[in-house]
Amino acid sequence: MSEPTLRLKRAVRARSLAAEGVAVSMGATAVVLRGAPADAVWRALEPVLRSGFTPEALVERFPERGRAVLVGILDRLEEHGFLREVEEEHDLDESERAAYPHLEPLTARPFAALRALAGSSVRVRSESARVEARVRRALGRAGFRDVAADTGAPLPGVLVGTRLTVPGHPEAVHVIVAERGVWVSGPRDATATPEVLDGLRAWAAALDEPPGIGPDAPESEVARTLVASQLALALVAHVARVTEGTPQARDPEFMVTTDELVSEPHRLPLLPALDPEVTGAFPEVSAPAALVTDRLDALAPLWDRVFGPVGEPLPGDLPQLPVGLARTARRGGSGCGVTTAEARLDALTGSLHAVAWGRRSALAGHGMGSTRAEAIGDAVGDLVLRETVPWKEADPPEPMSARARRLWAALTLRSGVAATARFHELEDLGLWRVDVVGPDGSALAVGAAAEPDPALREALVRAVAVVREDPPGLAVRAARTPDAALSLAAWADVSGRVRVAAPEGAAAWAAHGVHTAVATWT
């Protein structure tokens, strides 16, 4: 198959940065070609890129010593969508001139997308005559010529629903949802499947903001116009996407606009409820980042302030020495760790536990983590820390490790707690549990691990957190510190005394960076 002939898109512009190079941009996207010769190279190259070229032929004609540089430039232009195919073109009419600037950045075949848009039909249904009028007007200005009323079944909870049919492609649904002063329009990179609509309804039901301006109120005139335009652009983007064969986004993106006309894109995570009663093999996923901070960044969509199932885990004004503390903004989950980053991850894990499991199993331990080993260790810890497990009190091993002594000093000297550490062993299984008990005889915290020291440190971290600040929702019986969780995961792998598996729904969560596990006794 021969290479397609390519050219720069019309909207691409270049600006010299003198000795620093050349900035090549289209809209908000820019590529900087660095180096002193870049300006001269670009001036010689740009006419060829605009008239049309095939990459292979262009590289062959280029001086050999500069070919690697040229290949790098072409790769960057293609990566950022600055190139399009040379295709059959025609003079643009008024509606096409409005649509073309929006289509060109989205596809390498903008004229094919224009023809598909002109042949598409849109059916509109709305609970609000005013909003529907704005949507119809925006669709007409975007280049859609066949816009009519939708006589099909309404979509519950949706202010506006559109059904778009692009010739040769399945029908696509796009919506506007307006709840309590928040308008959601889209999706911008997918179609609104039943799963997506269920996710939007669940989000709307969970809103706790006070009522905002109603969609039909006079004050909403500007919002109606803005949101209708955003919906029209989502349909234009869909035409471009199906024309080029671009796959749908896993998590659809919506434009979210407030009554104050603050508008920004947000992704809607589509996460199923986990079922511990139905288990299977662990999903294959790429290795997580080594640093806890990087793993937290990867999980950011789960605490998106609009659509996230939980809020961002923040240290806030909690004391961070000698133990890190954090609390999620929503769901009330709290966490602790040796570092603030570990505390944030612990708070996030606890909050996700509260929303992820569709049901709980009385016979299984439930685990989550940013790595599979952490999830398995969390699940085993949840299983072995049950009240029914026959732990036997054991003599404390001597001496305490240096890390445990520092935590012990923080609890007893710095915080002034007359605490006692009580060690327990699960006979013949090689497991340890440590209860850190306060002066009244009640347990401040309980930890478990395959060795006594990580079990003691787990309990001490949580005990220090409890007495330093008593965050609601803090798990005081757990095995989530890295050393404790990893030791339990390794023990499960070699002992054969527990069975670990992935709950139903684990693959979707793993795709979002959250590993899950279920542990049961064999």
| Residue 399: predicted pLDDT | 87
Task: Look at residue 13 and tell me whether its pLDDT is greater than 60.
Answer: yes
* CA dihedral (447, 292, 287, 508) positive or negative: positive
Considering the chain, what is the average pLDDT of its residues?
91
Q: With bands split at pLDDT 50, 70 and 90, how would you rate the model's confidence at 3?
A: confident
| Residue 388: predicted pLDDT | 86
Q: Which residue has the higher pLDDT, 396 or 484?
A: 484
Kindly report the backbone phi and psi dihedral angles of residue 257, in degrees, each rounded to the nearest multiple of 5, phi listed first: -125, 135
Measured from the Cβ of residue 275, the count of other Cβ atoms closer than 10 Å reads 16
Tokens standing for residue 52: 């049309």
pTM metric for this prediction: 0.84
- The continuous run of DSSP H or E covering 217 comes out as none
How far is residue 449's CA from residue 139's CA, in Å, rounded to a whole number? 61
Task: Look at residue 514 and tell me whether its pLDDT is greater than 80.
Answer: yes
* Nearest one of 465, 446, 204 to 344, comparing CA atoms: 465
What is the average per-residue pLDDT within 107-129? 93
% of the chain residues with pLDDT over 70: 99
Peptide bond into 101 cis (omega under 30): no
Q: In CATH terms, is domain 6-85 a member of 2.60.40?
A: no
What is the average per-residue pLDDT within 179-187? 94
Q: With bands split at pLDDT 50, 70 and 90, how would you rate the model's confidence at 43?
A: confident
Task: Look at residue 113 and tell me whether its pLDDT is greater than 90.
Answer: yes
| Residue 427: predicted pLDDT | 78
Find all residues with CB under 8 Å of 375, minimum gap 6, and list them.
367, 368, 369, 515, 516, 517
How far is residue 386's CA from residue 178's CA, in Å, rounded to a whole number? 45
| Residue 114: predicted pLDDT | 93
Q: What is the pLDDT of residues 74-102, one digit of tens each?
A: 998 999 999 999 988 888 888 888 888 88
Find all residues with CB under 8 Å of 517, minimum gap 6, and list them.
282, 366, 367, 368, 369, 372, 375, 376, 378, 379, 500, 501, 502, 503, 506
| Residue 475: predicted pLDDT | 87
| Residue 487: predicted pLDDT | 96
Q: Which amino acid is at 376?
A: I
What is the average per-residue pLDDT within 46-56? 91
Task: Look at residue 322 and tell me whether its pLDDT is greater than 80.
Answer: yes
Find all residues with CB under 8 Å of 214, minimum gap 6, and list them.
220
What is the average per-residue pLDDT within 246-257? 94
How far is residue 262's CA from residue 521's CA, in Å, rounded to a whole number? 52
What is the average per-residue pLDDT within 348-367? 93
Q: Where are the domains of the chain?
A: 6-85, 94-267, 285-521
| Residue 473: predicted pLDDT | 73
Find all residues with CB under 8 Å of 20, minimum gap 6, and list them.
32, 34
Tokens standing for residue 275: 């079922």
Q: What is the pLDDT of residues 130-167, one digit of tens each?
A: 999 999 999 999 999 999 999 888 899 999 999 999 99
| Residue 472: predicted pLDDT | 67
Q: What is the pLDDT of residues 285-321, one digit of tens each?
A: 888 889 999 999 999 999 999 999 999 999 977 788 8
What is the average per-residue pLDDT within 258-271? 93
Task: Look at residue 471 and tell me whether its pLDDT is greater than 70.
Answer: no
| Residue 206: predicted pLDDT | 83
Ranking 202-211, 264-273, 422-431 by mean pLDDT, the lowest is 202-211
Task: Look at residue 511 and tell me whether its pLDDT is greater than 80.
Answer: yes
Q: What is the pLDDT of residues 189-203, one digit of tens each?
A: 999 999 999 999 999
How far is residue 295's CA from residue 514's CA, in Å, rounded to a whole number? 10
What is the average per-residue pLDDT within 64-69? 81
Q: Residue 365's beta-bridge partner residues?
A: 519
